[in-house]
Chains A and B, each alone.
Chain A
Amino acid sequence: MHLDLNTIWFILIGVLLTGYAVLDGFDLGIGALHLFTNKDEERRVMLNSIGPVWDGNEVWLVTGGGALFAAFPNVYATVFSGFYLALMLLLASLIFRAVAIEFRSKQPMRWWRQMWDVSFSAGSIVSSLLIGTALGNIAWGVPVDANGEFAGTFLGLLTPYPLLVGVTTLALFMMHGAIYGVMKTEGELHEKLRRWAMGCIIFFVICAVTLTMSTLLYVPHMAARVRENPWLFSVALANMLAIANIPREFHHGNDGRAFLSSCAAIVTLMALFALNIFPNLVYSLPNPENSLTIYNAASSPKTLGIMLVIACIGIPVVIAYTVSIYWIFRGKVKVDRMSY
């Protein structure tokens, strides 16, 4: 594997989507846990723990989508038109979740807040499930015809393996969000989140083990590269260690380190996913020769080059101010009159 522009863009899109999973992952997780408490004050604290950052986190998805459009237009076109209804549902859930954060605390009425609390939570849960299921379908393979068009149906996307990936993603985000919540809160809610986090860790580990077994048994091509290059097993090992380290750090009360381990678990999972699908972007089943790869679905080298310049200018700047913003809003959440 030599590093050509197509490979670089495969990696860059991977970085953007991993950034999305690590960052928006915890605020989707907070959303999924939102209804676990029915105290208004606690719900507000949870909302405000992600208040200043959720919007920027979602931009990773928007930019990832834009980058996919620019670098691999055929993949963007095939997947987006092929997964039409699923994406419309994802859009609807992302919309509800976004506006619910903004609208919820603007009115004091109980029904009003309950309505937007449910929107926020349901939107977060459905988004996580759909994102995971989409990823699961890419891993399993989807029918693609000789013209590179999707040849399946909406119901054909809802098979057990992709759904399992969906549920695992939800579990992962809930765990990630709960640990983030533990870091950002104090007092009674902090203790509650600690209990939920333990539950979520167990939920995630069960899902992760089941997913690993089913991948090895039923989706052999998703382990092929690691099988052929045993040194890559180090990534799988790092993933297992990262996951195992989460409850360990958590038990010792090192919430920050537990959160970092959770981030590492997401990064290594995405890395395993990327390593095994490479160089395919959409694996075609049952006709692997129709697969969309980083070569047959890419933009021209000139465009990839221009985009790389844009990315090299843009990404360091983005990282610099993302870090400063997390720094400004570090520490435990306090609800004040500017809060949601």
Chain B
Amino acid sequence: MDVLTLSRIQFGATIAFHYLYPPLSIGLGLMLVLMEGAWLRTGNTLYHQMARFWTKVFALTFAIGVATGIVMEFEFGTNWATYSRFVGDVFGSALAAEGIFAFFLESGFLAVLLFGWDKVGRKVHFFSTCMVALGAHFSAVWIVVANSWMQTPAGYHIVGEGIHARAEITDFWQLVFNPSMLDRLFHTICGAWCAGSFLVVSVSAWYLLKGKHLEFARQSLKVGLTVALVSTLLQAITGHKSAQGLEINQPAKLAAFEALYETTSNAPLVLVGWPDEKNEKVIGVSAPGMLSFLTHNDFHTPVIGLNEFKPEDRPPVTPSFLFFHGMVGIGFALIAVAALGFLYFRKGTLPERRWLLWILVFSVLGPQLANQLGWFAAEVGRQPWIVYGLMRTPAGLSAVVKANVVLTSLILFTLIYSLLFAVFIYLLNDKIQHGPDDADLIPSGKLALPAKN
């Protein structure tokens, strides 16, 4: 394999593995704030026990997230040096801001969140939990700023020519709030909330099935299902907004997502299907006019097709289509699952519906899969560009790095990450099997003191 393919596989694989963890940190961060906040508000120590239990799971995901995240920061320079020279002025700023505003906040207050239970008072601890969650959300902000700039560059101009050409900032706020940034940020964060809440839901449903830790499970489900329902619904709305933005900013990507070749009014939305690239059509079931309606709020407005673009400027259609439809399909299934769970929970009959509990147990895979597919769709759909319309992916490679070297590091990371994943699952399972600590029903140390008002 050539250095381009290997570098793309390595970046894709390392970021996909990394991205199993940040959504959990962001989503569980929110759950921890809600649980600990509920404890402070109600004084119900069950919430304290929940916060303590999920903090341990949070710590596990956080550690791997940090360890695998440094790899990402280094890989821009190691494998995509030419890209780094081209965008450093713009893209580097976002990464540096992430370090200063997000990582320090997160890692600093994490110390208090994990080890400070008995050392600080309730309010200081709760404040630290909020700061950790905020830090996790901030890091999403800066990463999405950076990535969205690659999708919809703004606030820059090109200086120099040939190999010395590079993008320089002209307007920082235009760069930050580039056209796709807000929609994609909300979509990413809602995806992370789904990941966190469905993990809580899944583990709690499993406890109910096994008849263990019943009170804990019920209370966790209450918080988990509420967040799950809200975030899956928001996910549909933010996804819709993102897709509308695509038609304006990256029409080739939207056309590839729907495998729409001819620009058509009354454009159909593919519900289930498979793109047939040779004959330029889709085999499957479509809803006529729906794509036009969803993108333009009107059934008759034309949607731009792939044929408007030269073949070398089109994203690969089949993978874009499948990743996108996979994500959307899972997204809607999750809304249904969350709604059903919420409904029966409110009725109080959820514990009897074992089939639904089993679905809830496995629902944890849904957001993870959808998050992965969503990013695959976003990044594959951006091809053949590394920076949309400005730099093609092969042009971004490091000039001095050879294929055999990349192969070596790819093998190294594959081995390390397989080991990490196995250990993560083993320890996560161990924590879940062990369950919440009954000692946590009685807060100790300074936490035992009532909050001063």
A105 to chain B, nearest CB (A): 11
B450 to chain A, nearest CB (A): 21
A241 an interface residue at 8 Å Cβ cutoff? no
Query: Which residues of B from 76 to 90 have beta carbons under 8 Å from A?
Result: 76-79, 81-82, 84-85, 87-90
Beyond A95-B71, A338-B117, whether A300 also contacts B108 by CB under 8 A is no
Of A58, A67, A303, the contact of B66 (CB 8 Å cutoff)? A58
A306–B93 touching, CB < 8 Å: yes
A318 to B100, CA, bound (A): 7
A336–B104 touching, CB < 8 Å: no
B98–A66 touching, CB < 8 Å: yes
Beyond A91-B71, A315-B100, whether A76 also contacts B84 by CB under 8 A is yes
- CB neighbours (8 Å) of B119 from chain A are 328-329
A38 an interface residue at 8 Å Cβ cutoff? no
Query: Which residues of B from 404 to 453 have beta carbons under 8 Å from A?
Result: 405, 408-409, 412, 416, 420, 423, 427, 430, 439
Query: Which residues of A from 77 to 111 have beta carbons under 8 Å from B?
Result: 77-82, 84-85, 87-88, 91-92, 94-96, 98-99, 101-103, 106-107
A279 an interface residue at 8 Å Cβ cutoff? no
A65–B73 touching, CB < 8 Å: yes
A147 to B163, CA, bound (A): 9
A300–B89 touching, CB < 8 Å: yes
Query: Which residues of B from 119 to 177 have beta carbons under 8 Å from A?
Result: 119-120, 159, 163, 166, 168-170, 172
B283 an interface residue at 8 Å Cβ cutoff? no
B401 an interface residue at 8 Å Cβ cutoff? yes
B112 an interface residue at 8 Å Cβ cutoff? yes
- CB neighbours (8 Å) of B85 from chain A are 73-74, 77
B96–A66 touching, CB < 8 Å: yes
A325 an interface residue at 8 Å Cβ cutoff? yes
B351 an interface residue at 8 Å Cβ cutoff? no
- CB neighbours (8 Å) of A256 from chain B are none
B425 to chain A, nearest CB (A): 12
- CB neighbours (8 Å) of B89 from chain A are 70, 73, 299-300, 303
B326 an interface residue at 8 Å Cβ cutoff? no
- CB neighbours (8 Å) of B319 from chain A are none
Among B67, B105, B114, chain A packs the most CB atoms within 10 A around the CB of B67
A336–B118 touching, CB < 8 Å: yes
Query: Which residues of A from 316 to 340 have beta carbons under 8 Å from B?
Result: 318, 321-322, 325, 328-329, 336-339
Beyond A95-B68, A311-B100, whether A69 also contacts B92 by CB under 8 A is yes
A159 an interface residue at 8 Å Cβ cutoff? no
B185 an interface residue at 8 Å Cβ cutoff? no
Of A51, A61, A92, the contact of B115 (CB 8 Å cutoff)? A51
A74 to B163, CA, bound (A): 12
B116–A328 touching, CB < 8 Å: yes
B100–A63 touching, CB < 8 Å: yes
Query: What per-residue 1/0 map shows which CB atoms of A105-129 lie under 8 Å from chain B?
Result: 0110000000000000000000000
B299 an interface residue at 8 Å Cβ cutoff? no
Query: Which residues of B from 357 to 401 have beta carbons under 8 Å from A?
Result: 398-401
B95 an interface residue at 8 Å Cβ cutoff? yes
A309 to B106, CA, bound (A): 21
A244 to B399, CA, bound (A): 46
- CB neighbours (8 Å) of A321 from chain B are 104-105, 108-109
A14 to chain B, nearest CB (A): 15
A322–B108 touching, CB < 8 Å: yes
B343 an interface residue at 8 Å Cβ cutoff? no
- CB neighbours (8 Å) of B399 from chain A are 81, 147, 149
A56 an interface residue at 8 Å Cβ cutoff? yes
B66–A310 touching, CB < 8 Å: no
Of A73, A150, A302, A318, the contact of B169 (CB 8 Å cutoff)? A302
- CB neighbours (8 Å) of A150 from chain B are 400
Beyond A77-B77, A81-B77, whether A102 also contacts B60 by CB under 8 A is yes
Of B116, B400, B416, the contact of A95 (CB 8 Å cutoff)? B416
- CB neighbours (8 Å) of A337 from chain B are 439
B111 an interface residue at 8 Å Cβ cutoff? yes
- CB neighbours (8 Å) of B249 from chain A are none
Who on chain A is nearest to B423 by CB? A103
A62 to B88, CA, bound (A): 16
- CB neighbours (8 Å) of B172 from chain A are 306
A99–B420 touching, CB < 8 Å: yes
Who on chain B is nearest to A70 by CB? B92
A264 an interface residue at 8 Å Cβ cutoff? no
A52–B169 touching, CB < 8 Å: no
A63 to B79, CA, bound (A): 19
Beyond A92-B416, A99-B64, whether A314 also contacts B112 by CB under 8 A is no
A310 to B24, CA, bound (A): 28
- CB neighbours (8 Å) of A79 from chain B are 77
B70–A52 touching, CB < 8 Å: no
- CB neighbours (8 Å) of B95 from chain A are 66, 69-70
Query: Which residues of A from 21 to 76 have beta carbons under 8 Å from B?
Result: 51-53, 55-56, 58-59, 61-63, 65-67, 69-74, 76
A307 an interface residue at 8 Å Cβ cutoff? yes
A77–B116 touching, CB < 8 Å: no
Beyond A66-B98, A81-B398, A99-B420, whether A107 also contacts B163 by CB under 8 A is no
A78 to chain B, nearest CB (A): 7
A76–B405 touching, CB < 8 Å: no
Of B79, B92, B112, B408, the contact of A328 (CB 8 Å cutoff)? B112
B168–A318 touching, CB < 8 Å: no
A98 to B118, CA, bound (A): 24
A70–B96 touching, CB < 8 Å: yes
Query: What per-residue 1/0 map shows which CB atoms of A131-172 lie under 8 Å from chain B?
Result: 000000000000000010111001000000000000000000
A120 to B70, CA, bound (A): 17
Among A70, A87, A98, A154, chain B packs the most CB atoms within 10 A around the CB of A70
Query: Which residues of B from 38 to 91 have beta carbons under 8 Å from A?
Result: 59-60, 63-64, 66-71, 73-74, 76-79, 81-82, 84-85, 87-91
**Contacts A302-B168, A336-B118 given; 14 further ones with Cβ under 8 A?**
A55-B107, A56-B111, A58-B66, A63-B96, A69-B88, A94-B70, A99-B423, A103-B427, A306-B169, A310-B101, A315-B100, A321-B108, A328-B111, A329-B111
**A/B interface sample: 27 pairs, CB < 8 A:** A52-B116, A53-B111, A55-B66, A65-B73, A66-B99, A69-B91, A69-B95, A70-B96, A71-B92, A73-B85, A80-B78, A80-B84, A81-B401, A85-B405, A91-B70, A98-B63, A98-B66, A99-B67, A107-B430, A149-B400, A150-B400, A151-B400, A299-B92, A306-B93, A314-B101, A321-B108, A325-B108
Partner-B contacts on A (CB < 8 A): 51-53, 55-56, 58-59, 61-63, 65-67, 69-74, 76-82, 84-85, 87-88, 91-92, 94-96, 98-99, 101-103, 106-107, 147, 149-151, 154, 299-300, 302-303, 306-307, 310-311, 314-315, 318, 321-322, 325, 328-329, 336-339
The 8 A-B pairs with the shortest beta carbon distances in the complex, nearest first, are A73-B88, A80-B77, A70-B92, A63-B99, A314-B100, A52-B111, A69-B92, A102-B63
Partner-A contacts on B (CB < 8 A): 59-60, 63-64, 66-71, 73-74, 76-79, 81-82, 84-85, 87-93, 95-101, 103-105, 107-112, 114-120, 159, 163, 166, 168-170, 172, 398-401, 405, 408-409, 412, 416, 420, 423, 427, 430, 439
